[in-house]
Amino acid sequence: MITIASDFGSVYPAAMKGVILQETDARLVDIAHDLPRQDPRGAAFWLRFALVEFPPAVHLAVVDPGVGTDRRPIVLRAGEHALAGPDNGSLVPAARALSEGAIDAYEIEIPDPASATFHGRDVFAPAAAWVHEQGVDAIESIDQLSAIESYVDLTLPDPDISGTRIEGEILVVDGFGNAITNIPGSAIEGIGRCLVNGEAIPVVETFEAVDRGSALVTVGSHGYVELDVNHGRGDERFGIEAGDSIELTLAEENER
Amino acid sequence: MITIASDFGSVYPAAMKGVILQETDARLVDIAHDLPRQDPRGAAFWLRFALVEFPPAVHLAVVDPGVGTDRRPIVLRAGEHALAGPDNGSLVPAARALSEGAIDAYEIEIPDPASATFHGRDVFAPAAAWVHEQGVDAIESIDQLSAIESYVDLTLPDPDISGTRIEGEILVVDGFGNAITNIPGSAIEGIGRCLVNGEAIPVVETFEAVDRGSALVTVGSHGYVELDVNHGRGDERFGIEAGDSIELTLAEENER
Amino acid sequence: MITIASDFGSVYPAAMKGVILQETDARLVDIAHDLPRQDPRGAAFWLRFALVEFPPAVHLAVVDPGVGTDRRPIVLRAGEHALAGPDNGSLVPAARALSEGAIDAYEIEIPDPASATFHGRDVFAPAAAWVHEQGVDAIESIDQLSAIESYVDLTLPDPDISGTRIEGEILVVDGFGNAITNIPGSAIEGIGRCLVNGEAIPVVETFEAVDRGSALVTVGSHGYVELDVNHGRGDERFGIEAGDSIELTLAEENER
């Protein structure tokens, strides 16, 4: 199985699929092709979210603002999984979540010719196909891969929690406008209300617990605190976007 | 074969696929992940439209405004097909169209733990995989399913036709802005022109039968009357959206 | 393997898949369902771009502004590939790129009943399934196909290059706003700067070679000159859309 993710939008992903299917008859599964554009950190969040659900697979994931520069094309081996993409950190949180132990890294030799702008098709898709065909256990035997000592790390930021005050950050905004923070759901367990940047907002378990058009704080299926609007867009309601910091002040249930 | 439909947009459907592929190597076919958001009736229209084309399959379909409330998660058995999703009526018109006879309903036991906001991944995807693996004929033997006597029904509304006057309703607007009514195509057969909310509009067989930018009434491939604009959006042209009522007055061909 | 492309947006492609899967268990691969709407020439560009990457397959491709008129439904045989769709030229550049030699054309008999507005489901999807099941080499034996002498040709226009002055055309705009011309990349090789409609723009190999928000000229992975903006939209920056003509005047590297 090969999963495929990118920020390429339409048509370009099909070219990657054609290249892969020249080499292997593996099952292909699309993760998404509208990952946050040219944003390795946003991509890292979504890749970790989705890839941890999969059985052992090769994961091709290309959010690559540095394509054509000297950033390295890499494969990370994480347990029975392998991830192919640019060495910009976007693969790392998913690799860490998929691995029981160490992550091994390999640099992909760039074929000649390769376009300067579409390594997804010309570099990463063939590499994913080779790893699938050889098998993750035989990754060392693939001529076009060379073991490397280090890779660009990326850690999604932790919030700063002191008592009832939490300083966090918006990691991504999903397609519905839900603004997803880096604050773990456990931080608001049992809380009925909180101040979001100073404004009191109910903390609820489901969107329908508030009126349509009303703001809410909830814990998303990814396990993180989200700022949302029932039948609306949280990002617009709160005037926030990915990368913005956010301050929550918790109130106890009985203060609600 | 398992088909997958939702209003989840991007990335979330991939998590459902990973969960399914942990349990089965069934073929997966995406129906759509931009079904009318949190609109069981609109979802019901599109599910019926698409699913009737399929050979026997398990259909996972999640448009679920009540997730996290006490609405039940269900599987409907319809002939050789099964449909898994929320008990809000969205599955029913498709089930009725797929079944030669009765529809049998089963409640899905919610696993523990399950998120409060993503039953697509935590409840419905596993249920679809189990039904696929056991087979629809052995659905009674699945421990996590319990036969239930009733389920939430949903019938797409019929128009009110009296002579040349039809009172109908916009069921859905597709991605092109075509406003699809509940009026069967047979109601306008042989008609060359009609009044739409009082305005004369040609009834034609193809978009190109009118000038670009001009409004038209036609019968869509789903068999229902649509209000469209050639190279434009019918919803904007007529100022209508899903749920709005619409009045057609038919003129004979020779009055055109 | 059957690839599927269209300008149908959402849900409608699923109906085509259901019809195909009634006839065959072929692998299905989506190319795109947001091809330039009702634009056979734009579709032709993208189909050629994507389909050349694939191993032998049947390609179902439906961008069909003439559906319901007397335009013919056809299958083109191009080497070991076959392409099914409307006879409006959209299949031809891809067929020419896939074929080592001649292209053979066949008219598809329209089944009765067939809708007037959805030949993708009612005419082309069954034809693609039959060709897949019989095999491209046995295409002559398919009862519903009749060899025809000619088909609508379509050639993507060549630019007019005289010295350092190039008159070209925007063929398509991709989802990111990159405006893709008909000017081959070789025409700007070694060039560091050019005038685009009179304005000096750097010619670079990667988006990141210019500041975010700045315009650039580069050669895309399709091999053609693009007018782009780093982290922005080229079409808006230059005020251009598909079909517009464009004039480039090249400056030598040392004039930069």
Q: How would DSSP label each residue in A88-157? A: SSTTHHHHHHH-SS-EEEEEEPPPSS--SS-HIIIIIHHHHHHHHHH-GGGGGG-TTEEEES------PP
pLDDT over threshold 90, residue C125 = yes
Across the interface, whether the CB atoms of C221 and A121 are under 8 A apart is answered: yes
**Confidence at residue B100, expressed as pLDDT on a 0 to 100 scale:** 78
- Residue ranges of chain B whose CB lies within 8 Å of a chain A CB: 9-12, 14-15, 17-19, 21-22, 25, 28, 37-38, 65-69, 115-118, 121-122
CA distance B150 to B106: 9
Across the interface, whether the CB atoms of B68 and A205 are under 8 A apart is answered: yes
| Sequence-ordered alpha helix ranges (H) in B114-181 | 119, 125-134
Are A9 and A63 contacting, i.e. CB atoms less than 8 angstroms apart? no
Tokens 């060039």 sit on residue:
C191
**Confidence at residue A113, expressed as pLDDT on a 0 to 100 scale:** 86
Does an H or E element contain B77, and which? strand B73-78
Residue B201: both structure tokens together: 């509009």
Which chain A residues touch C60 with a CB distance below 8 Å?
Answer: none
In this prediction, residue A256 has a pLDDT band, given cuts at 50, 70 and 90, of very low
**Confidence at residue C256, expressed as pLDDT on a 0 to 100 scale:** 44
In this prediction, residue C100 has a pLDDT band, given cuts at 50, 70 and 90, of confident
**Confidence at residue B231, expressed as pLDDT on a 0 to 100 scale:** 86
Across the interface, whether the CB atoms of A221 and B12 are under 8 A apart is answered: yes
C65 closest CB neighbour out of B175, B208, B221: B208
Across the interface, whether the CB atoms of B221 and C121 are under 8 A apart is answered: yes
Across the interface, whether the CB atoms of B18 and A53 are under 8 A apart is answered: yes
A-chain residue closest to C206, CA distance: A68
Domain definitions of chain B by residue range: 2-148, 160-255
A34 closest CB neighbour out of B10, B68, B117: B10
CA distance C80 to A76: 37
Across the interface, whether the CB atoms of C53 and A115 are under 8 A apart is answered: no
**Confidence at residue B127, expressed as pLDDT on a 0 to 100 scale:** 98
Q: Which chains touch A (3 or more CB pairs under 8 A)?
A: B, C
**Confidence at residue B67, expressed as pLDDT on a 0 to 100 scale:** 86
Mean of all residue pLDDT scores within chain B:
93
Mean of all residue pLDDT scores within chain A:
93
pLDDT above 90: percentage of residues in chain C: 81
CA distance A74 to A82: 10
Give residue-wise pLDDT tens across range A200-229: 999 998 888 899 999 999 998 888 999 999
CA distance B151 to B105: 7
Across the interface, whether the CB atoms of C28 and B29 are under 8 A apart is answered: yes
Across the interface, whether the CB atoms of C118 and B220 are under 8 A apart is answered: yes
Which chain A residues touch B10 with a CB distance below 8 Å?
Answer: 32, 34, 174-175
**Confidence at residue C252, expressed as pLDDT on a 0 to 100 scale:** 63
Q: Report the pLDDT averaged over residues C66-87.
A: 95
Count Cβ atoms within 10 A of the Cβ of residue A102 and give its class: 0-12 exposed, 13-18 middle, 19 or more buried: exposed
**Confidence at residue B253, expressed as pLDDT on a 0 to 100 scale:** 52
Distances (CA, A) of C6 to A149, C36, C62: 45, 9, 5
A221 closest CB neighbour out of B28, B66, B118: B118
Model pTM score: 0.94
User: Which numeric CATH code is attached to C160-255?
Assistant: 2.40.30.90
**Confidence at residue A68, expressed as pLDDT on a 0 to 100 scale:** 80
Give residue-wise pLDDT tens across range B80-124: 999 999 999 999 999 999 997 899 999 999 998 888 789 999 999
CA distance B250 to B240: 20
| Sequence-ordered alpha helix ranges (H) in chain C | 12-23, 40-51, 92-98, 119, 125-134, 234-238
ipTM: 0.92
| Sequence-ordered alpha helix ranges (H) in C24-157 | 40-51, 92-98, 119, 125-134
3 state DSSP class of B138 = helix
| More confident call, B134 vs B69 | B134
Across the interface, whether the CB atoms of A174 and B11 are under 8 A apart is answered: yes
CATH T-level assignment (fold) for domain B2-148: Rossmann fold (3.40.50)
**Confidence at residue C19, expressed as pLDDT on a 0 to 100 scale:** 98
Tell me, yes or no, if the two domains C2-148 and C160-255 fold the same way: no
Which chain C residues touch B216 with a CB distance below 8 Å?
Answer: none
CA distance B54 to C237: 45
Dihedral sign computed on CA atoms, order A40, A89, A97, A58: positive
Which chain C residues touch A65 with a CB distance below 8 Å?
Answer: 207-208
pLDDT over threshold 80, residue C253 = no
